[in-house]
Amino acid sequence: MDLRCSEEDEAFRAEGGDWLWDNLAGEFAGGRGIGGAGSEHEGFDVRQAWERRLAEGGWTCIGWPKEHGGRGATLTQQVVFHEEYARAEAPARVGIFGEGLLGPTVIAFGSDEQQRRFLPPIVRAEELWCQGYSEPDAGSDLANVQTSAVLDGDEWVITGQKVWTSLAHWADWIFVLCRTDREAPRHKGISYLLCPMRQPGVDVRPIVQLTGTSEFSEVFFDGARTGREHVVGEIDAGWRVAMGTLAFERGTLYFGQQIGFERELRQVVELARVNGALDDPVVRDRLARAWIGLRVMRFHNLRTLRDGEPGPEASINKLFWSVWHRELGNLAMDVLGPAATLADAPLQRVFLFSRADTIYAGSNQIQRNIIGERALGLPAEPRA
């Protein structure tokens, strides 16, 4: 399999990279590297303004079809743009849930009316979205959602609770899984609703993390309302739509993430060089293994995308990078030694936040089940 980029892809890389470097100046010069996992509290106003600058330049939603406001970029072109974005240390995106998850879902499953209403504001960076999937009793076991939606005339009335909702305190809308038929089997009777966040009946409560910051929230719905027409797909058939959204989540964004990982690894190497930890052969071996892991990660991601959108085997990506990143956090603290206990220790936030890497977006245990049952075709795990 040839994993090299074509001349056309490299030209696209140069165009995107040049635009990024030209525009990360002036008011955005101080925004380099802000935000991202573990640091989502940083610089929201600057990042929102940057999102609009991207829109003005035509660099939002680049993988969407042109008829929906995108560039129609190929998968490889999306990969190279995400790599250049991370390499330029551009601010972490605040529109990622709309562009990367909700938008492709509406394109694939939504009505013409929904596409006209919801896609243009995402392209223009005018509306921000968050994801309402997990609940206190429905995390990896997503089919156990209990948040309910009941029709009242031309509106759905939503009652229940979601948790670990990223960027909820900034979002304008939420795509939320609700149980609309309590008599139906677990994977049926679920609908995929689009609900405005800024209304009575929606209460967002930030969750303080190990890092001391809050990027996740609990979201409580107490009679929140949304239009009858705001169901993506068919009523009671939202499970298929929800799984489609998760497939988009396993896409090209991983490549930009890897550039960030590479930057963190370079920081660990530099720390080891400065404080003498690099003299330890065990530390050198662990650093070499981390470097090799990054290369394995990239080539596997390319392999899973070459034939189109990622399938079940893309769960290997999540399993691999989450374990790799957690181990990098451990390595960083070992390199720092006693200094790692200081509150402002370099890379301490990587160590703390990476504890969540193997849990969110599907725990490692669930990823292994998906790999075994759906990718390898092994017998299903015994059920009680």
Report the candidate in 376, 322, 348, 377 with the shortest Cα–Cα distance to residue 38. Answer: 348
How would DSSP label each residue in 81-129? HHHHHHHTTPPPPSSHHIIIIIHHHHHHH--HHHHHHHHHHHHTT---E
Q: Which residues pair with 135 in a beta bridge?
A: 138
Measured in degrees and rounded to the nearest 5, phi and psi for residue 30 equal -85, 0
* Three-class DSSP category at 149: strand
Residues 177, 93: Cα–Cα separation, whole Å: 24
Q: Is 249 a catalytic residue?
A: yes
Q: Which positions ≥6 away from 102 have C-beta within 8 Å? A: 118, 122, 129, 173, 175, 194, 245
Report the candidate in 338, 48, 323, 109 with the shortest Cα–Cα distance to residue 234. Answer: 109
The alpha carbon of residue 76 and the mean position of all alpha carbons in its chain are separated, in whole angstroms, by 19
Active-site residue (options: 249, 262, 309, 327)? 249
Catalytic residues: 249
